[in-house]
Structure 1
């Protein structure tokens, strides 16, 4: 059961969805099981070819906090996130992809953390699971505080862990990038608020063989990073420098902030 407590205000949860039929039910249920109940879930289906939207609509019929939208044509996760952000009415913005999962106290603990630390932007630790939800025995973390310089070095926060104060940040819209569109968002948010780490595992990221990043070569990843920095108006040399720094920090993260157990 969710609590009736709403003293923190409404949380808008952004969920882009595409061909998530095997997973979206569990992802939505992990939102519905939150101990903090004052939320709205904004699901944007990107013209799935499976039963994703019918599953989402069926659950939404029984819960007025869930709102389902469908793009007119397949447009990508960035477009879907932008649409959900324009629809959001919350005091807080949180993110959960349609195959990932939250701990039932994720919202309550993160809201308390942000209030206690007077924080406008935060993230948490998370673990990985496989397509069947089985733990992969790895946890992911990051720096205790990320400022503008730190965020330009690397995308430290896992998307499913992020929350920010909508009153401080405002409405965020990003370039229509195929990859790293969540990073583009954090680069916008960090301009108005440092990002603090709540050092507790409160989410589970599902590693899927069909994901864009799975099996992607380092060269292709570098090209996507370059496109991100280029989309932000950087000169070629600056975009290349940021790309190289991001790649170097990805190796540092594996050493410093990825733990097997």
Structure 2
């Protein structure tokens, strides 16, 4: 493998079961061949998950699995994978999401063209219970630190950053949830801008009844925690940002996503 082209794919797993095989296949079947898949299993007890993990690491030398003895949370598991990463590029995919076959090929070429340290892409929303595409999240063409303070605009399953330009110093903050938003805020403090691949969605976010993001209201305290622990805001300022910047921006984003998804589903139909 060419270390200057190598992409280290970070995947946490925890009782992912039947969804895991499709996610892993979507990574290993990429048209871009210089990759390693670094899985950290966060104390799974599900025999289906463990069986899949044992089989894929035996079958493909690009797969490296670390088994934790008990559950720590997705952020901790991702960091254990980042610690083992050898690649120039760090990419993320959760164990129930999927990539399009040409995601890495197109996105890495785009990053080289733009000379950017951080990139993302739009993604399709797929309902696993109904087994159909139900929407799309279209990423803004250019995302700045100021925009990210208002709301997370980078889908973690599409994000890639370049350690050659940024260094190997970024890890998920030790928050139980919203670590991805916190991480991208820290990166954007340094690189200033994230560019989005413009032509098509490059990943599939799989929504099901167990998805963490299915209960956004319950995540309010974690959003406030990001303002406090990552940006260093006091309690009152953090609550102000959440109430008057985050919530209005997030509601507008949901409305836009709903309209975009309606057009996407109608066009497909």
Question: How high is the TM-score relative to the length of structure 2?
Answer: 0.89
Q: Tell me the equivalent position of 1:126.
A: 123
Q: CA deviation at 1:133?
A: 7.6
Superposed counterparts of 1:1-261, under 5 Å:
9-50=5-46, 51-131=48-128, 134-169=131-166, 170-193=168-191, 194-199=193-198, 200-214=200-214, 216=215, 218=217, 220-232=218-230, 233-244=232-243, 245-258=245-258, 259-260=260-261, 261=265
Q: Distance in 1 between matches of 2:242 and 2:110?
A: 32
CA distance in 2, matches of 1:109, 1:27: 19
Paired with 2:127 and 2:81, the residues of 1 have a C-alpha distance of 27
For the residues of structure 2 that align with 1:7 and 1:92, how far apart are their CA atoms?
Answer: 9
Of 154-163 and 204-213, more deviation after overlay is shown by 204-213
For 2:11, what is the secondary structure of its paired residue? Answer: strand
Going by fraction, where is helix more abundant, 1 or 2? Answer: 2
User: Residues 133, 198 of structure 1: CA spacing in aligned structure 2 closer, same or farther, 3 A cutoff?
Assistant: farther
2:49 and 2:84 mapped to 1: Cα distance? 20
User: What is the total number of aligned residue pairs between the two structures?
Assistant: 255
Q: CA deviation at 1:241?
A: 2.6
Structure 2: tracts of 5 or more residues without a match: none
What is the aligned-residue RMSD (CA, Å)? 1.7
Give 1:8 shift: 5.8
> Mean Cα displacement is larger for which, 134-143 or 80-89?
134-143
Separation (CA, whole Å) in 2 of partners of 1:18 and 1:146: 31
Unaligned runs of 5+ in 1: none
Once the two structures are TM-superposed, the CA of residue 10 in structure 1 deviates from its matched residue by 0.3
1:116 to 1:133, Cα distance in 2 relative to 1, 3 A: farther
Distance 1:65 1:16 in 2: 16
Deviations 1:101-150 (A, max 9, x none): 00000000000100111111010010111225823331101221111111
Please identify runs of 4+ aligned residues in structure 1 that moved more than 4 A: none
